[in-house]
Structure 1
């Protein structure tokens, strides 16, 4: 089992797509291979979703969901550049 990637706090608005449906969400924390989102929509463990954000999109799998928080594992690792864009935008908006 590989070590868990370092997670960074975030406050980054995104759109979640699941099939034809779209939901607003906020990335609460992020790493290269996963993160946590806050949304009013309840997802189930195992759901596949797509995160749409300013500079791209990422397919992710729901690992857990509790009330408004949902833990995700990304299908493909984010680039270091993508991770830093989310972190830097969060700092500017804070």
Structure 2
């Protein structure tokens, strides 16, 4: 066995693991939207339910957070709130 083959095999394993982990999604909050029906009393606000990646203090990792109010985020995994609003 050649050292080149050994190193190439190791790099292949590392790259395949990195692509596998990057493709995984922690979010289990799949929302079913019924686009066929329109509500007559639809309220539109400037709030956007966006997802950002923040450091979660409970999980101690970078996790996806969902914006529940303007500048108030909730961890998708542990449901802990992170308040970035001005005091």
TM over 0.5: no
Asked which structure has the greater RCO (Cα within 8 Å, sep 6+), the reply is 1
Q: Would you tell me which structure has more helix in proportion to its own residues?
A: 2
TM-score between the two structures when normalised by the length of structure 1 = 0.28
User: Which one has the largest radius of gyration?
Assistant: 2
